[in-house]
Amino acid sequence: MFYPISNLQLPISNFCVKIPFVKLIIQIPCFNEAQTLPQTVSDLPSQVPGIDCIETLIIDDGSTDGTAEVARSLGITHVVQHRQNMGLARAFQTGLDAALRLGADIIVNTDADNQYPGHYIPELVAPVLAGKADIVIANRQVDNIAHFSPFKKLLQKLGSWTVRTVSGTNVPDAVSGFRAYSRDTALRLHILTNFSYTLDTIIQAGKQGLIIRSIAVETNGPIRPSRLQRSMGHFIKAQAGTIVRLYAFYEPLRTFTYIALPFILTGLWLWGRFFYAYFINHANQFIQSVTIGTGLLLVGLFIFLFGVQADITSKHRQMTQETLYRLKKLELGHKSEEIRD
Ligand SMILES: Nc1nc2c(ncn2[C@@H]2O[C@H](COP(=O)(O)OP(=O)(O)O)[C@@H](O)[C@H]2O)c(=O)[nH]1
Ligand SMILES: [Mg+2]
């Protein structure tokens, strides 16, 4: 059994049995979505060109409104549950692990609030099916979304820009959760941040040389307030925190060097001032500059050394990531669960 946590329930039912086949699993992370789930599910396509079998997977993240029961009554193929709320990032990873174990060739993730029209799913999976992309991301075209304020649009664009810079990719809408992933990509992703798995996955994909494509979509209007962005203050704090962390995490040497630079430059300038005065006047002017300059240089040096240390650690993380990928591939790569059923 491959599961990151022990309290999952995975009912084995309604499996597809046609072999060989291409299986698409549509996963929907849910936190108290009993009201909106029926509308979302009714909008999902029953057929997708190139796909032999479509299954649905609900990750119920400790809902208290009977989301899991609603999901079962709607005929959702698989329902996995966290016994308590663990957040979207964990739920997404639980979904990926379950979908891999259930033999998915392609995994589509969508929201439970019917934000993303299901009729785009064939277009979303097509580049993955054709082997032209590892991840396809729906571009919500944030500029055209009427209910987003100009400030929210700006912040979303800032998030996307940061991700493009760090990941070396060209994703126009990095925060969009409506995406298709190939099986191999799902094996490679290991979510490490709590808040924004959407940004984390793009950076991991970019660093591993995976191909990301985007398709333009139009989203449905809101049918309930956002769960993830509870208020503008919360959104700014979370977005800013995520961007700083992603930089420190994936570009540690660059980040710490930038932080160290003001200290080093000011220290050098103070030292320069002292030596200039010393050689010109031969007098002991600016002694304080030497003391303060030395202090600043030392602080800068220590910060830089943190960066070197973090850089070494990040190389270890890359190796761990590769090891995990190979391990998961050995464990899940051959869809053995599927064939046995
Ligand atoms: N598993 C899990 N899902 C969540 C949580 N918060 C929100 N979601 C789900 O994540 C998806 C996106 O949430 P939503 O409120 O639509 O965010 P927005 O589209 O960014 O406004 C929905 O399917 C939610 O049910 C959470 O704490 N845990
Ligand atoms: Mg949504």
Candidates 217, 202, 196, 181; CA nearest to 96 is 181
Q: Which listed ligand is nearest to 109 at the C-alpha? A: 1
Pairing of strands 212-216, 135-139: parallel
Higher pLDDT, 20 or 173: 173
Measuring CA to CA, how many Å separate 244 from each of 71, 138, 237, 252? 37, 25, 11, 10
Candidates 70, 333, 61, 330; CA nearest to 197 is 61
Work out the average pLDDT over 100-106.
95
Report how far residue 41's alpha carbon sits from residue 85's, in angstroms, rounded to the nearest whole number: 22
Question: Could you tell me the strand order of the sheet in which 78-82 lies?
Answer: 78-82, 53-61, 23-30, 106-109, 179-182, 135-139, 212-216
Q: What pLDDT shows up at residue 200? A: 87
Q: pLDDT band at 20, cuts 50/70/90?
A: low
Q: How far is the CA of 227 from the centre of ligand 1 (A)?
A: 5
Q: What pLDDT shows up at residue 249? A: 84
Give the torsion sign (CA, 88, 89, 92, 93). negative
How far is residue 40 CA from its own chain's centroid? 22
Give ligand 1 pocket residues (Cβ under 6 A): 28-31, 33, 59, 61, 85, 87-88, 91, 111-113, 115, 177, 226-229
Q: Which of 31, 116, 152 to mutate to test the pocket of ligand 1 (most atoms within 8 A of CB)?
A: 31
Return the top range by mean pLDDT from 16-25, 100-109, 140-149, 185-194.
100-109
Return the top range by mean pLDDT from 18-32, 167-181, 299-313.
299-313
pLDDT in tens, 243-274: 788 788 888 999 999 999 999 999 999 999 99
Asked if pLDDT for residue 339 goes beyond 50, the answer is: no
* Per-residue buried b or exposed e for 188-214, using 16+ beta carbons within 10 Å of the residue's own CB: bbbbebbbbbbbbbbbbbbbbebbbbb
Measuring CA to CA, how many Å separate 259 from each of 17, 237, 293? 56, 20, 17
Q: What pLDDT shows up at residue 14? A: 54
Ligand 1, atom 11, lies closest to the CA of 111
User: Which 8-state DSSP code applies to residue 58?
Assistant: E
Q: What pLDDT shows up at residue 45? A: 96
Of the listed ranges 206-210, 223-227, 244-248, the one predicted with least confidence: 223-227
Q: Which listed ligand is nearest to 33 at the C-alpha? A: 1
Q: Which of 175, 228, 234 to mutate to test the pocket of ligand 1 (most atoms within 8 A of CB)?
A: 228
How far is residue 75 CA from its own chain's centroid? 28
One CATH from 3.30.70.1070, 3.90.550.10, 3.90.700.10, 2.170.140.10 for 23-250: 3.90.550.10
Percentages helix, strand, coil for the chain, rounded to the nearest 5?
50, 10, 35
Of the listed ranges 68-72, 203-207, 210-214, 299-303, the one predicted with least confidence: 203-207
Assess contact for 40 and 67: CB atoms under 8 A.
Answer: no
Asked if pLDDT for residue 5 goes beyond 80, the answer is: no
Q: Please, what is the angle between helix 197-207 and helix 232-250, to 10°? A: 20
Indicate which atom in ligand 1 lies nearest the CA of residue 91.
1
Higher pLDDT, 321 or 57: 57
**Beta bridge partners of residue 25, listed in sequence order:** 55, 107
The angle at the Cα of 36, spanning 30 to 39, to the nearest 5 degrees, equals 115
Contacts of 167 (CB under 8 A, 6+ apart): 202, 203, 205, 206, 207, 250
Q: Which listed ligand is nearest to 221 at the C-alpha? A: 2
Q: How far is the CA of 87 from the centre of ligand 2 (A)?
A: 14
List, as ranges, residues with CB under 5 A of the ion ligand 2: 111, 113, 115
**Beta bridge partners of residue 257, listed in sequence order:** none
Q: pLDDT band at 334, cuts 50/70/90?
A: low
User: Which 8-state DSSP code applies to residue 316?
Assistant: H
Q: What pLDDT shows up at residue 155? A: 79
Indicate which atom in ligand 1 lies nearest the CA of residue 90.
1
Q: What pLDDT shows up at residue 338? A: 44
Indicate which atom in ligand 1 lies nearest the CA of residue 82.
1
Q: How far is the CA of 113 from the centre of ligand 1 (A)?
A: 8
pLDDT in tens, 129-160: 999 999 999 999 877 777 778 887 887 788 78
How far is residue 83 CA from its own chain's centroid? 23
Q: How far is the CA of 194 from the centre of ligand 1 (A)?
A: 13
Q: What pLDDT shows up at residue 298? A: 97
Q: pLDDT band at 231, cuts 50/70/90?
A: confident
Report how far residue 157's alpha carbon sits from residue 151's, in angstroms, rounded to the nearest whole number: 10
Q: What pLDDT shows up at residue 281? A: 79
pLDDT in tens, 271-321: 999 988 888 877 677 888 999 999 999 999 999 999 999 999 989 988 998
Of the listed ranges 5-19, 188-202, 278-292, 293-307, the one predicted with least confidence: 5-19
Work out the average pLDDT over 105-121.
96
Work out the average pLDDT over 153-175.
84
Q: What pLDDT shows up at residue 4? A: 41
Work out the average pLDDT over 88-95.
95
Asked if pLDDT for residue 126 goes beyond 60, the answer is: yes
Report how far residue 260's alpha carbon sits from residue 4's, in angstroms, rounded to the nearest whole number: 38
- Residue 38, classed as helix, strand or coil, is helix
What's the mean pLDDT when you consider all of the chain? Answer: 87
